[in-house]
Structure 1
Amino acid sequence: MSAPAWDPAQYLRHAGHRARPFTDLLARVPELPGARPRIADLGCGPGNVTALLAGRWPTAHITGYDNSPEMLDQAHVEHEGPTPGGGRLDFTHADVRTWRPREPYDLIISNAALQWVPGHLDRFADWITGLVPGGTFAFQVPGNFDAPSHRLMRDLAARCGLAGTLRHTDAVHAPEAYLEHLTALGCTTDVWETTYVHLLAGQDPVLDWVKGTGLRPVLTALGDDPEARERFLAEYRTALREAYPPGPHGTPFPFRRVFAVARKEAG
């Protein structure tokens, strides 16, 4: 599966709903050991949720890492620079599949990015090693790969000869697997899951949502064939309308997410 091309404007169309899991994750992160914490945000995207870290830790030096030039351009323009509390927010290119800490971090955090990293369990040891004593590794990932939005997408992609472009149900692990793996690395670990029921507005809002995230590999693969792209979108749109019918106040969109907060031993 080649890297998808990202569209920050499309992604941010549902920024409020997308940020909610990050704020819930952030609320469970314990206080950090450093007075001027060093924080890494893996898969920072356009930087809108990375900026929320400065509200929790005003003196922190926060770096967002991403491999999308489009997302990083948005982050540089909108969020980079000194923070009001005396910290700093910056962004740099990195591939989370191979990223290793080059300095000790008080917090390594990731919001809805590790599902794009095959074998991400194997990366945890390096990241825990890169934490200061008492530091924290925290993340959330979507747990909705068996939801209609993704099943329908995969079925249609397979019929169109695009089966290899999309992630499957093994893109993320069960909460128990994350708990076991992080505990085995010597961390005090809290793992949970939440199903949000987002009430989306507008016409075909579920399609509009996935065009910013899960559908990006298909849109990238069909980027040079506009007719095929429109045929795919038309058929997928019809299927989503049946799977997610609008109600009187909008379209309910259930979305399960898995969270983990792992604190390294202080001694």
Structure 2
Amino acid sequence: MADWNPGAYLQYTDERSRPFTELVARVPGSPATIVDLGCGPGHLTAVLRARWPQAQVTGVDASPAMIAQARAADPATEYVLADLATDTHTADLVISNAALQWVPGHRDLLTTLADRAAQTFAFQVPGNHDAPSHRLLREVAARAPYADAVGPVERRATADPAEYPELLARPGWAVDAWETTYTHVLHGPDPVLRWISATGAQPTLQALEAKDPALRAQFEEEFGAALREAYPEHAHGTPLAFRRVFAVATRA
């Protein structure tokens, strides 16, 4: 994948920020240092500062475009370009919002990330890999002529809430895990297509763009039609159910 598009991602800032706010509310204590893994364009640093105004925050992301956007919007915060799987920053609180699902084998990485937290390791990941939006993405991308350009679209499955305590609840740790399904009411033309095009569909769209911009346009038309059928528009907007899974591991 070439890189993320901060502008596209920030189209639904309020909806994408809600899970992080819920996650932060469940973090105990008063960390003096915080590492935000997968900080994106830095728009959620304000949530951390509102909760812990005196904390030193470091944002980490593997996307040059996201880090550039974060540094421009928030020059007072340190933002570091690094791979989440190999980053070695430590802090009282290590937190991650909707990023670990992009790390291959993220379950195997969890204890390593937790060990870098002096107090708490907290994260949220999407749990909607079998929702119509993602299932249709895989189905349409598997058809000709798209399949030759993109190959199989990975099903980026995350664990259910009961599985994360099994991975993180070691001696000296207490783990709180839960799930929330948000119903976002989106507006405008093809809102679900615009939502997923900024995140889950981004690698597929970029592969098609690299092959042939016309092929991408054809795919978006076909995928968009399938999404409109799966997510019909109502008088009040287009409802999008989005399941998310949370975990907060705290040193006892």
Structure 2 residue 109 is matched with structure 1 residue 123: yes
Structure 1 residue 9: Cα displacement: 0.5
CA distance in 2, matches of 1:200, 1:236: 17
Is this contact kept in 2: 1:105–1:130, CA < 8 A? Answer: yes
Q: In structure 1, what is the equivalent of residue 68 of structure 2?
A: 73
Q: Equivalent residue of 2:188, what SS? A: coil
RMSD value, Cα = 1.4
CA distance in 1, matches of 2:45, 2:171: 26
Verify the 8 A CA contact 1:165 1:218 in the aligned structure 2.
no
- List runs of 5+ in structure 1 lacking aligned partners: 82-88
Aligned counterparts of 1:233 and 1:256: Cα–Cα separation in 2: 24
* Structure 1 residues 175-210: Cα deviation after superposition (integer angstroms, max 9, x where no partner): 111111111364211000000000001111000101
CA contact 2:94–2:113 (8 Å) conserved in 1: yes
Does residue 42 of the first structure (1) align with residue 26 of the second (2)?
no
Deviation track 1:28-77 (CA, whole Å, cap 9, x = no partner) reads 01013x5xx11100001000012321111111110110011111111001
1:22 corresponds to which letter in structure 2?
F
Contact 1:65–1:92 (8 Å) recurs in 2: yes
TM-score normalized by structure 1? 0.89
TM-score for the superposition, normalised by structure 2: 0.94
Give the Cα–Cα distance (whole angstroms) in 1 for the partners of residues 227 and 163 of structure 2: 31
Within the alignment, does 1:150 sit opposite 2:145 as a pair?
no
Question: In the alignment, which of 220, 223, 233 is matched to residue 246 of structure 1?
Answer: 233
Distance 1:7 1:236, change over 3 A: same
What residue is the counterpart of 1:92 in the other structure? 80
Which of the numbers 19, 42, 53 marks the counterpart of 1:58?
A: 53
The CA distance in 1 between the partners of 2:224 and 2:171, in whole Å, is: 44
Task: Report Cα offsets for 1:204-227 as digits up to 9, x if no partner.
Answer: 100010111011101211222111
Q: 2:29 aligns with which of 31, 35, 38?
A: 31
Asked whether the 8 Å contact 2:150–2:204 carries over to 1, the reply is no
Letter of the 1:262 counterpart: A
> How far apart in 1 are the matches of 2:174 and 2:216?
46
- Alignment check: 8 A CA contact 1:114 1:141 kept: yes
Q: What corresponds to 1:193 in structure 2? A: 179
Pick from 180, 197, 217 the counterpart of residue 211 of structure 1. Answer: 197
Local SS of the residue matching 2:245: strand
Over the matched positions of the two proteins, sequence identity in percent amounts to 50
Go from structure 1 to structure 2 and tell me whether the alpha carbon gap of 1:155 and 1:4 turns closer, same or farther (over 3 Å shift).
farther
Greater displacement, 220-229 / 105-114 = 220-229
Contact 1:165 1:217 in 2 (8 A): no
Mark the CA change 1:180 to 1:100 in structure 2 (over 3 Å): closer, same or farther. Answer: same
Gaps of at least 5 residues in structure 2 are none
Residue equivalent to 2:160: 174
What residue number does 2:3 align with?
5
For the Cα contact (< 8 Å) 1:149–1:240, is it kept in 2? yes
Maintained 8 Å contact 1:100/1:126: no
